[in-house]
Amino acid sequence: MKKVPHIIFVDDELNWIYTMKEIGNILGFKITITTDPNDVPRFLANGEYDLLVTDIRMPEESGFDLIRKVRRKYKKLPIIIVTGFETNKLHRQAKALNVQKVMIKPFRISDLENIIARLLNIKIPD
C-alpha cells in the first residue's frame, strides 16, 4: 500500500486554507490546516508530515519566523511558500532558508499539484 502524502497548510486566510484542504483531498493527499503558525511545531512533533506550505504575512508570526523554527529541527522537510506579495527580498530569504518553491497567488492548482508531486517524488494520475 502506498503512503498518502501528509501536508500542513498554514495561512491566516480561512477561505484559502479550507480551499487548499478540499483540493488536497481531491488530489489524494492527507491535509492538516491551521491559521496559527504556532501550531506547526506541535504538529510536526506529533506526526509524520511530508511537506509544509505556508503563507508569509500572518498576524501571529511571519512565515519566515515559522520556517526558521521548523528548519532548526526538520532540515530536510520540503517547504513551499504561497504568498500574494512578490519581492526580490522574499526570494532571497526563501533561498537562504532552503525553501524549495515560492508560489505567488493566484496560481493554477495544476501548478501546485505538479510542484508537490515533484517535491515528494510521486506520480500524479492523469
**Chain segment 6-23, per-residue pLDDT in tens:** 999 999 999 999 999 998
User: Domain map of the chain by residue range?
Assistant: 6-119
CB-neighbour burial class of residue 56 (10 A; exposed 0-12, middle 13-18, buried 19+): buried
Question: Over 63-106, what HEC string results?
Answer: HHHHHHHHHHHCCCCCEEEEECCCCHHHHHHHHHCCCCEEEECC
Report yes or no: 21 and 14 within 8 Å, Cβ to Cβ: no
Look up the pTM and report it: 0.93
Decide if pLDDT at 1 tops 60.
no
For residues 90 and 87, give the distance between their C-alpha atoms in angstroms, rounded to a whole number.
5
pLDDT at 28: 87
Phi, psi of 91 (to 5 degrees): -65, -40
- Mean of all residue pLDDT scores within the chain: 92
For residues 45 and 21, give the distance between their C-alpha atoms in angstroms, rounded to a whole number.
21
Q: In what order do the strands lie in the sheet with 101-104?
A: 30-34, 6-10, 51-54, 79-83, 101-104
pLDDT tier, 26 (very low <50, low <70, confident <90, very high otherwise): confident
Decide if pLDDT at 2 tops 80.
no
Convert the pLDDT of each residue in 75-116 to its tens digit: 999 999 999 888 899 999 999 999 999 999 888 988 998 999
Decide if pLDDT at 3 tops 70.
yes
Decide if pLDDT at 60 tops 90.
no
CB-neighbour burial class of residue 111 (10 A; exposed 0-12, middle 13-18, buried 19+): exposed
Question: Domain 6-119: what homologous superfamily?
Answer: Response regulator (3.40.50.2300)
Contacts (Cβ under 8 Å, ≥6 apart) of 60 = 12, 36, 37, 38
Decide if pLDDT at 117 tops 60.
yes
pLDDT tier, 125 (very low <50, low <70, confident <90, very high otherwise): low
